[in-house]
Amino acid sequence: MRTRSIMLCLMIMTLLMLNLAGCGQSATSTQTKQNSTTSTNQTVDTKRTITDMGGRTVTVPNTIKTAFAISPVGSIMLYALCPDKMVGWNYAPRPSEIKYILPKYQSLPALGGWYAANKTSIEEILKIHPDIIIDMGDVNKAEISNADKIQTQLGLPVVLVDAPVLKMDKACEFMGELLGEKAKAQELADYCRNTIADVTARAAKIPQDKRISVYYAEGAKGLQSEPDGSTHIEALSLVGGLNVAKVPLGGKSGLSSVSLEQILAWNPDVILAWTEEQGGFYKGILSDPTWKEIKAVQQNRVYQVPDAPFCWFDRPPSINRIIGFKWLGNLLYPDVFNYNMVAEVKDFFAKFYHYDLSDEEAKTLLVQIQPTK
- Which stretch, 5-9, 11-15, 57-61, has highest mean pLDDT? 57-61
Average pLDDT over residues 104-126: 87
The pLDDT of residue 66 is above 80: yes
pLDDT of residue 7: 52
pLDDT of residue 38: 41
The pLDDT of residue 33 is above 70: no
Average pLDDT over residues 306-319: 94
pTM: 0.86
Average pLDDT over residues 133-155: 95
User: How far apart are alpha carbons 336 and 338 in whole angstroms?
Assistant: 6
pLDDT of residue 141: 95
> pLDDT tier at 283 (50, 70, 90 boundaries)?
very high
> pLDDT tier at 175 (50, 70, 90 boundaries)?
very high
Average pLDDT over residues 171-181: 98
Point out the least confidently predicted range of 13-27, 140-154, 293-307: 13-27
pLDDT of residue 3: 47
Burial 206-244 (b: 16+ CB within 10 A, else e): beeeebbebbbbbbeebbbbbbeebbbbbbbebbbbbbb
Higher-confidence residue of 8 and 323: namely 323
The pLDDT of residue 12 is above 80: no
User: How far apart are alpha carbons 191 and 180 in whole angstroms?
Assistant: 19
The pLDDT of residue 190 is above 50: yes
pLDDT of residue 13: 56
pLDDT of residue 253: 83
pLDDT of residue 25: 47
Name 18's Cβ contacts closer than 8 Å, sequence gap at least 6. none
pLDDT, tens digit (0-9, with 9 covering 90-100), for 221-240: 999 999 999 999 999 999 99
Mean pLDDT of the chain: 89
> pLDDT tier at 164 (50, 70, 90 boundaries)?
very high
Domains of the chain by start residue, with CATH: 47-186 (3.40.50.1980), 206-367 (3.40.50.1980)
pLDDT, tens digit (0-9, with 9 covering 90-100), for 291-305: 999 999 999 999 999
Q: What is the 3-state secondary structure (H, E, C) of the chain?
A: CHHHHHHHHHHHHHHHHHHHHHHHHHHHHHHHHHHHHHHHHHHHCCEEEEECCCCCEEEEECCCCCEEECCHHHHHHHHHHCHHHECCECCCCCHHHHCCCCHHHHCCCECCCCCCCCCCCHHHHHHHCCCEEEEEECCCHHHHHHHHHHHHHHCCCEEEEECCHHHHHHHHHHHHHHHCCHHHHHHHHHHHHHHHHHHHHHHCCCCHHHCCEEEEEECCCCCEECCCCCHHHHHHHHCCCEECCCCCCCCCCCCEECCHHHHHHHCCCEEEECCCCCCCCHHHHHHCHHHCCCHHHHCCCEEECCCCCCCCCCCCCCHHHHHHHHHHHHHHCCCCCCCCHHHHHHHHHHHHHCCCCCHHHHHHHHHCCCCCC
**Closest C-alpha among 227, 297, 295 to residue 258:** 227
pLDDT of residue 279: 92
